[in-house]
Amino acid sequence: MPLNLPQNLPAVDLLKKEHIFVMDSLRASEQDIRPLRVVVLNLMPLKIKTETDLTRLLSNSPLQVELDFMKIKEHRSKNTPMEHMAAFYRSFDEMKDRYYDGMIVTGAPVELMRFDEVTYWEELKRIFNWARTHVTSSIYICWAAQAGLYHFYGIPKYDLPAKKFGVFKHTMNDPYLPIFRGFDDEFYVPHSRHTEIRRDDILKTPALTLLSESEDAGVYMAMARGGREFFITGHSEYAPNTLHDEYMRDRQKGLPIAAPSNYYPDDDPAQPPVMRWRSHANMLFINWLNYYVYQETPYRIEDIRNLGDLGQNK
């Protein structure tokens, strides 16, 4: 089954050009199937690009997925047209009575700020708490992973001496966990961040399980509540040119930035980047949808409020 997207969302036409099967809500309404309901809290500045990156991955599954987009009520996007936000995004207040099989919270360009300095921190905490009773399984990406780990478990973030920027090799601590089905022993993930979380803080927190890390990039993935929460520090969803675009943007701004590691052939920015993470990214989101959302969520979506930890370490 394809991804069920709102009519006229720009990602629909973009993905059809890539021969990815998506359908809008009008056609999906003709199928007598309860789709999985997934909400995306999109905190990234280039929202249409992030929408397309995520829908590209979520559509690569036999499951029908209905996608909604959530926004922070008091935050106005500077890089996305107001008409787009009004057409496709709803505030938490408008959505808080709904239940979702899955939730994805993206990164945000605020990582050098203290959490309590972020203007929407209080609203974000309410959304995080709401997810525990209204969502079967949630993925927190990059800064959102740091924010979730800090809010729920008191895990601090630390400034890095230089931006962690590039595509890095990772390994699994428990390769038999369903989230890793189909993974190679080593896999690559893009990272783009100025801060980190540390393995020692996770290992001394009994509620957390450290699932994957990198010799060069550090902690990549942690899990809580048997798979109801995943915290992912990298950007598996990135398109092939995203790191290049970030690199050129920072250079044009005169910022101190090195070329992304393990990205260009011979580390030469004049050459097209090598896409090393597509297979892993697809498997990550397929496995999450299948094993931690579809196989765990109740048919009556309102029964999510009665779920405990998934206890899915098998």
Instruction: Say whether 94 is catalytic.
Output: no
**Catalytic option among 66, 196, 229, 237:** 237
- 215 catalytic, yes or no? no
In terms of Cβ atoms closer than 10 Å to its own Cβ (0-12, 13-18, 19+), residue 62 is: exposed
From 51, 235, 280, 296, the catalytic residue? 235
Q: Which residues lie closer than 8 Å to 96 by C-beta, 6 or more apart? A: 130, 134
Among 134, 142, 229, 280, the active-site one is 142
Do the beta carbons of residue 233 and residue 193 sit within 8 Å? yes
Q: Assess whether 186 carries a catalytic annotation.
A: no
DSSP assignment of the chain equals --EEE-TT-HHHHHHHHTT--EEEHHHHTTS---PEEEEEE---SSHHHHHHHHHHHHTSSSS-EEEEEEE-TTPPPSSS-HHHHHHHEEEHHHHTT--EEEEEE---TTTTS-GGGSTTHHHHHHHHHHHHHHEEEEEEETHHHHHHHHHHH----EEEEEEEEEEEEEEES-TTSGGGTT--SEEEEEEEEEEE--HHHHHT-TTEEEEEEETTTEEEEEEEGGGTEEEE-S-TT--TTHHHHHHHHHHHTT---PPPBTTSGGG-TTSPPP---HHHHHHHHHHIIIIIIITTS-SSGGGGGG--------
Residues identified as active-site: 142, 235, 237
